[in-house]
């Protein structure tokens, strides 16, 4: 707490402020050149930006480039806002457009081999077209998030742009491409991105069961998110059977049924490497199969249906570290008993729409989960306690808690106890 800002951080911020200052000094010159025609302003601006990019590429160490990129995007965004505020009814539109063009062009400084992380959906919309059109210049990227692109409306038009960019990203390990993924793009990943480990192509209408055979050829793939695609349960079963290194497939409500089918029809498959289980439909049998077939499971997120599931089945999940329970009763559905057995390993606990939460429930959580680092209580029914069962605590309550999410009405003493 209250630590001074590092000189390294101050230096990086200073370079980004300086660059925006250079942009402001260039604006009058570019305005004069733009009035002369013959694209002189564009040629001059392009030359200056290329020189600045070389300077930054030479002077900023590779391990600091991503931090510098975040600061620069913030400073350019502030510069754009200053230009907009200076616009009034009597201002020349050509002057405004010239100033905006200079400000946005400064973002091209980031197009370097040293850049490792790029989340295009986090950029101001005025900048995104630069990074879409020049993705092939970011050859050193490890993580690329293209966001929703066209939102699925112009997938064919965006495909060429994506293919052109991915062709140079040999070091890419993670890609997020929602809505606009196609089989052609997936084949390009096999050829150009052999080290890919994470792939999020959710909401892509052109991703079907035929895409699974392509995805399974990405040998290093560990995480693939296919939520709201055209992949059916048959395709997901094929994915689980063929992709040997998968640790996470995101939320999939039929994952329990997939495990049942694999257990019945693929006796040679004894274990899967899945580490996360997230579903809104699960039965007691599904949880039992999860414990048997997925010994590495560390995260479980389930919607509890008292007619289909006994939460005590979670006791069989040996390596459980993160638990997300939705719609249950703390005492009646034996959440307390589950925590009594498994709580010693838990570091993350999220309870949503859980009833019967009183002071006793909070005390049990604090004593059964001594290593808990994150606790989230969302829309839980917090009730006053008629009596407190435990008055002496074996360990200090929530002694390792680092993060607390508390979105529910409760008596003041409940929150005071946690804090």
Residues ≥6 apart with Cβ < 8 Å to 64: 8, 12
Q: What was the pLDDT predicted at 391?
A: 66
Residues ≥6 apart with Cβ < 8 Å to 360: 385, 388, 389, 390
Q: What whole-number distance in Å separates Cα of residue 417 and Cα of residue 356? A: 17
Q: What whole-number distance in Å separates Cα of residue 93 and Cα of residue 112? A: 32
pLDDT digits (tens, 9 = 90+) for 63-115: 999 999 999 999 999 999 999 888 877 777 888 899 999 999 999 999 999 99
pLDDT digits (tens, 9 = 90+) for 25-68: 999 999 888 888 768 888 999 999 999 999 999 999 999 999 99
pLDDT tens across the length of the chain (419 residues): 578 899 999 999 999 999 999 999 999 999 888 888 768 888 999 999 999 999 999 999 999 999 999 999 999 999 999 998 888 777 778 888 999 999 999 999 999 999 999 999 888 888 888 998 899 999 999 999 987 777 777 788 888 889 999 989 999 999 999 998 999 999 999 999 999 999 999 999 999 999 999 999 999 999 999 999 999 999 999 999 999 899 999 999 999 999 999 999 998 988 999 999 999 999 999 999 999 999 999 999 999 998 899 999 999 999 999 999 999 999 999 999 999 999 999 999 999 999 988 888 999 999 999 999 999 999 988 888 766 666 678 888 899 999 999 888 887 888 888 87
Q: What was the pLDDT predicted at 386?
A: 64
Cβ count near 203 (within 10 Å) = 19
Under 8 Å between Cβ of 320 and 349: no
Q: What is the CA radius of gyration of the chain?
A: 27
Q: What whole-number distance in Å separates Cα of residue 415 and Cα of residue 418? A: 5
Q: Determine whether domain 116-250 maps to CATH 3.40.50.720.
A: no
Q: What was the pLDDT predicted at 157?
A: 80
Helix or strand (DSSP H, E) at 58: helix 40-59
Q: What whole-number distance in Å separates Cα of residue 336 and Cα of residue 368? A: 9
Under 8 Å between Cβ of 380 and 408: yes
Under 8 Å between Cβ of 336 and 330: yes
Under 8 Å between Cβ of 369 and 339: yes
pLDDT digits (tens, 9 = 90+) for 283-314: 999 999 999 999 999 999 999 998 899 999 99
Instruction: Give pTM, 2 decimals.
Output: 0.87
Under 8 Å between Cβ of 318 and 287: no
Angle subtended at Cα 115 by Cα 111 and Cα 117, rounded to the nearest 5 degrees: 115
Q: What was the pLDDT predicted at 390?
A: 60
Encoding tokens for residue 110? 């980031």
Q: What whole-number distance in Å separates Cα of residue 107 and Cα of residue 331? A: 56
Dmax over Cα atoms in the chain, in whole Å?
84
Q: What whole-number distance in Å separates Cα of residue 25 and Cα of residue 23? A: 5
């Amino acid at each position: 707490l209250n630590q001074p800002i590092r000189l390294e951080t101050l230096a990086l911020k200073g370079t980004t402020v300086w660059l925006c200052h250079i942009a402001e000094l260039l604006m009058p010159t570019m305005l004069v050149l733009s009035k002369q025609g013959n694209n002189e302003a564009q040629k001059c601006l392009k030359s200056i930006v290329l020189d600045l990019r070389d300077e930054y590429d030479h002077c900023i160490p590779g391990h600091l480039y991503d931090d510098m990129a975040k600061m620069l995007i913030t400073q350019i965004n502030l510069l754009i806002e200053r230009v907009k505020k200076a616009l009034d009814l009597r201002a020349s539109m050509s002057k405004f457009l010239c100033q905006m063009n200079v400000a946005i062009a400064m973002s091209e400084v980031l197009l370097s081999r040293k850049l490792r992380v790029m989340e295009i959906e986090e950029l101001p919309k005025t900048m995104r077209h630069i990074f879409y059109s020049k993705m092939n210049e970011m050859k050193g990227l490890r993580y690329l998030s293209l966001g929703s692109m066209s939102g699925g409306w112009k997938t064919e038009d965006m495909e060429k742009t994506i293919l052109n960019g991915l062709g140079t990203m040999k070091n890419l390990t993670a890609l997020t491409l929602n809505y606009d993924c196609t089989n052609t793009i997936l084949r390009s990943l096999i050829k150009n991105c052999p080290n890919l480990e994470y792939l999020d192509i959710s909401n892509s209408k052109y991703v079907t069961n035929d895409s699974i055979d392509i995805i399974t050829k990405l040998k290093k793939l560990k995480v693939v998110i296919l939520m709201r695609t055209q992949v059916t349960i048959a395709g997901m079963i094929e994915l689980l059977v063929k992709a040997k290194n998968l640790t996470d497939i995101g939320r999939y409500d039929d994952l329990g049924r997939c495990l049942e089918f694999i257990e019945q029809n693929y006796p040679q498959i004894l274990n899967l490497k899945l580490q996360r289980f997230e579903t809104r439909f699960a039965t007691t049998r599904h949880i039992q199969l999860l414990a048997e077939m997925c010994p590495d499971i560390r995260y479980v997120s389930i919607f509890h249906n008292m007619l289909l599931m006994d939460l005590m089945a979670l006791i069989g999940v040996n390596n459980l570290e993160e638990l997300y329970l939705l719609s249950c009763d703390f005492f009646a559905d034996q959440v307390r008993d589950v925590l009594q057995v498994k709580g010693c390993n838990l570091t993350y606990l999220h309870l949503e729409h859980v009833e019967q939460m009183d002071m006793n429930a909070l005390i049990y959580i604090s004593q059964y989960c001594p290593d808990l680092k994150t606790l989230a209580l969302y829309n839980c029914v917090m009730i006053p306690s008629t009596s407190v069962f435990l008055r002496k605590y074996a360990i200090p309550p929530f002694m390792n808690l680092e993060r607390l999410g508390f979105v529910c009405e409760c008596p003041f003493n409940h929150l005071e106890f946690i804090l």
